[in-house]
Amino acid sequence: MSRKPRLILSKQALAANYQRLSSFSGTAECAASIKANAYGVGIDFAAPVLWEAGCRTFFVAYLDEAIALRRLVPDAVIYVFHGLTEQEFEIASAAHIRPVINTLGDACDPALAALKPALHVDTGMRRLGIPEYQHDQLIEVVSQCQPSLLMSHLASADEPERPDSEQQRTLFEMIRSSLGTVCPPSSLANTAGILLGASYHYDLVRPGIGLYGGSPNPDDPKGFEAVVTWHAQVIELQHVRAGDTIGYGGSYVAPRHLSIATIGLGYADGYLRALSGRGEVLVEGQRCPVIGRVSMDLITVDVSIVEDIKEGTWVEMMGPAVSLDTVAQKANTIGYECLTRLGDRLERVIV
C-alpha cells in the first residue's frame, strides 16, 4: 500500500467558494489572493480553477510567484503585494506584472507609471503602505506614478464588534475624497472585509482564506466548502494496558486498556505539533483523539471506539468532517497557518 499522506483537492469547492464571495461583493470585482502557493493548496491547482470560475485579477507576495502565475493565467491582471526592486522592473514589464507601491521611496521611480502599479495607503494596520503622516503627499504620488488601484488593508475585520474597521474605512474615504477626480479604482476588503458589508467593497475585493475553505476567525465558521481533504493511513495497530505510556516523553499515560493506531504523518507534513493531545481525526466515521506527542512523521490515535479498523485504513485529518477551522481551533491558531504549513511530500490528488 502507498503510505504517503495525501491531499484531495476539490475544483468544485474552490469554484463554489469564489462564486459565493463574488456574489457577496455585489458590483465590485472579485479578485483572489493567491500568495504562498495559493495558501498552501497549490498555485498550479488553484489558479486555473479560479480563472475558469471568473476571476481575472490576482495578488501574490513576490515577483517569482507572479511569474509562475503568469504561465498559468496568461491574460490575468497580477499585482505583487511587496512591490519590486529596480532590478526587477524589466522582468515585470515583459510579463505585464503590476507592483504595489508601499512607500514614498517606491513611488519615486519614473518607470513605475508604465507598470500600472497599485498604491497602498496605510489606514491602521501599520505594516505596509504609505503611513498616515505622509498622506499629504498622495496627490503628488498619484500624479507621478498613475496607479491603476488605490488599496489599503483591514487589521481587525475578523472581529466585527471592534470599531477599528470602521475607523479605517472612514480614513480610506477621506483619502479618496482628497484625491478627487484623480482617485483610481479602490480596494479595501479581504475575506473578512467582504463579510462586513457593501460599504467596504468599493471597486475590487481580494479574498484569500475564504476561497480555500477557511474562516477569518476559526471560532466563527462561515460555511465555506472544504477545498482540501487531508488523508493519511494507519500504519500499525496496537493494544496498550492501563498505565502504559505513549510517544516521546511518555507524555500520555493510558487510563485503561486502549486500542491505538499509528498514523503516517507528522509535523514534517504540516500536522502541527501543537495538536499533540488536542487534535482529533475521523476514522471509519468516528471522531478519535490524538494521544501523545505529534512527531516528525507519525501520530498516535485512540481508536478504541472503532469496531472495524485495519492497517491501511485511510483517516481524515482535515476535510468536510474535521474542518480546517476545527483543526485551527484545536491547535490554538488560524486556518491560514494550517494551510500554508502543508508539506511538499504530501501526494496531491485533484478531483
User: To which H or E segment does residue 242 belong?
Assistant: none
The helix, strand and coil proportions of the chain, stated in percent and rounded to the nearest 5, come to 35, 25, 40
Q: How far apart are the first and last CA of the chain?
A: 21
**Selected catalytic residue, list 133, 222, 248, 252:** 248
Q: Which residue type does 162 have?
A: R
Residue 154 CA from chain centroid, whole number = 16
- 35 catalytic residue (yes or no): yes
User: Does the active-site annotation cover 62?
Assistant: no
Among 18, 35, 222, 267, the one annotated catalytic: 35
Give the E-state strand segments of the chain in sequence order: 6-9, 29-30, 32-33, 57-60, 77-80, 97-101, 118-120, 149-151, 186-187, 204-205, 228-240, 245-246, 252-253, 258-263, 280-283, 286-291, 299-302, 314-318, 347-350
- Decide if 208 contacts 227 (C-beta within 8 A): no
Nearest to 172 by CA among 125, 213, 216: 125
Helices (H) and strands (E) in the chain, counts: 11, 19
β-pairing, 286-291 with 280-283? antiparallel
Q: Which residues are catalytic?
A: 35, 248
